Amino acid sequence: MKNYTDSDYAANKNAKGIVYRFADVTVEITMEIYLRENPGKTEKDFAELKALSDSIYLKQDREEYQQTRKNVSLHGLDETEVCSVPSPEDEVIEQLEQAARQKQRRELAKQALGTLTEVQRRRYLLYHVKGLTMREIADMEKTHFTVIHESLQAAEKKIKIFLAKGLKTPLQNAIFFTLGKRTFHKPLDL
């Protein structure tokens, strides 16, 4: 904690005059100097100026103390991930890798949808992408909703089987296949 006697407020409060601290020198303006420099002023004017300077220094001192209490020591935090910021190169590499993963996910989605029948694909996209309920799809197709439910279950089973067969490398194994509201991930035992 800061030594309070070293503060500008303490130096000004304990001095008879008004204290100004600079980087290399401290200047004290006494009442005699003030009255000599300002012939139209009185002792009362000096006392008001002294009180004003005391209040300004006190306010500065309190603000500095409050800020100091908020400061956190960085000792021991320099090697943590929390305090580090990725380099621009790492951010660019991450963006490129994300773009490649997105492209690969899109290709997997296209291939997975290719394993479905036309009816399954249409129902799957209406349900997962458009967000329609099974009853809404059944009403559109003039069929019972259990037919839609069974069709969607069969489609999801085909997609899961496709993903299980198609994921061979650790990179592919880590990729999530996302379509609409559902995420499918089938890890392989390597």
Domains of the chain: 4-70 (no CATH), 88-184 (1.10.10.10)
Q: Which residues pair with 177 in a beta bridge?
A: 184
Q: Indicate if the alpha-carbon torsion angle 154, 156, 160, 165 is positive or negative.
A: positive
Provide the Cα torsion 23, 29, 33, 39; round to 10°.
110
* Among 173, 179, 138, 176, CA closest to 155: 179
Give this prediction's pTM: 0.43
* Among 115, 113, 107, CA closest to 126: 113
Q: pLDDT 10s digit of each residue in the chain, 190 long?
A: 344 456 777 887 888 888 887 778 888 888 888 888 888 888 898 889 888 888 888 888 888 877 777 766 666 665 566 666 778 898 999 999 999 999 988 888 888 899 999 999 999 999 998 999 999 999 999 999 899 999 999 999 998 888 888 655 544 444 444 444 454 444 433 2
